[in-house]
Structure 1
Amino acid sequence: MELIQQNPELSAYLAVDEVIDHEHPLVRATVARLREDHTDAYSYAKAAYEFVRDTIPHSNDVGDLRVTWRASDVLEKRTGICHAKSHALVALLRAASIPAAFAYQRLTLGDTPDTGFVVHGLIAVRLDGAWHRQDPRGNRPGLGAEFSADGERLEWTPRAEFTEVDYPVLFSEPHPAVLAALKAAPDRPYLWKTLPEAL
């Protein structure tokens, strides 16, 4: 699949804002710790990915009802759904001057299309002049994403027969519909009812 940059300016994929607050002291401190043992871009990007995937539990997996959306809050509270974890990873990458984007998939909630759909969040990192999608959601039995710049190793491959979709656009900011749902949700059960089913 050919990935398409939403914004042609690469600087947009290094930007800081209220969501990707990579100038926050906690983000900077996390970057500094990761950089101690990972000095080149690839090694650092892989370490940042594994840090978010493995040390910040997906809130649904552990029954955490809190909803996070700001990168520094995800790092502080150590919880988030796929979108929030993507925000944290993008912040860690951009803070290290590595361009990073937001990517999305439309997936079924269950094993058949009649279970409904949800938009799943992942990221893309730019290394050696190319974009590589990564899924920091967090592994569990039956799921096994890995960092890769040599072929995608994502949690899910959308199934065309279920009308699941890989969206090819790489966004420089979180999608507004996703972000609005995260910001408005008082808890995760409410969020599950309001996350978009498609983009």
Structure 2
Amino acid sequence: MRLPHEGVSSQLELVKRCFEFVRDEIKHSVDFMLNPVTCKASDVLQHGTGYCYAKSHLLAALLRANNVPTGLCYQRLSVGEEGAPYCLHGLNAVYLEQYGWYRIDARGNKPGVNAVFSPPIEALAFPIRGPMERDLPEIWAEPLQCVIDVLESQPSVEQVLLNLPDVQLLD
């Protein structure tokens, strides 16, 4: 396997390669119904699968290892087409020298989902559609505890689906 950082000449190229590696080479657990449930970056890399949260953990680790400031971000989205129940969706923010903080979503593309690296324009996997959905503005250094709790306590992809993490909105 060729590591995404080999032979890069710029920060933008490095971030794009790492993003595309995680987006395209690591399978989204639900899309492929793949176990085990992963949380830590090393487990995601070892097993080649992870939920959006775990994939964002791997992308953060890869970029941080290459001295690119990277954080974790979340969206609150409807689990279905609209309305309750809601869950968090995990993605990343990366500090690009030319643009500042820029969000990237390595969830993995599929029909109806097309996340790309195209700074300064964000192209995330999911738009905000309803009044209770949100782009949460924080950039976190560590994953939210509710995300870790679900990924570490549920024994299968199916069980995670039944217990997706969510947060209460303050407004």
TM over 0.5: yes
- In the other structure, the counterpart of 1:52 is 22
Structure 1 counterpart of 2:125, from 155, 172, 184? 155
Residues 1-199 of structure 1: pairs in structure 2 closer than 5 A: 33-114=3-84, 116-128=85-97, 130-161=100-131, 163-198=132-167
Cα RMSD, aligned residues only? 1.6
**What is the letter of the counterpart of residue 154 of structure 2?**
A
Which string of whole-angstrom CA distances, capped at 9 and with x for unpartnered residues, describes residues 147-170 of structure 1? 132121001121243x11110000
Aligned-pair distance for 1:111? Answer: 1.0
**More helix, by proportion:** 1
Secondary structure, aligned partner of 1:170: coil
- Structure 1 stretches of 5 or more lacking a match? 1-28
Contact 2:82 2:130 (8 Å CA) reproduced: no
Q: How many pairs does the alignment contain?
A: 167
**What is the letter of the counterpart of residue 193 of structure 1?**
L
Secondary structure, aligned partner of 1:138: coil
Cα separation, 2, equivalents of 1:176 and 1:85: 16
Aligned-pair distance for 1:41? Answer: 1.1
Secondary structure, aligned partner of 1:91: helix
**What is the letter of the counterpart of residue 185 of structure 1?**
Q
**What is the letter of the counterpart of residue 176 of structure 1?**
Q
- Structure 2 stretches of 5 or more lacking a match? none
TM (norm. structure 1) is 0.79
Aligned-pair distance for 1:39? Answer: 3.0
Which stretches of structure 1, 4 residues or more, deviate above 4 A after TM superposition? none
**What is the letter of the counterpart of residue 74 of structure 1?**
V
Secondary structure, aligned partner of 2:76: strand
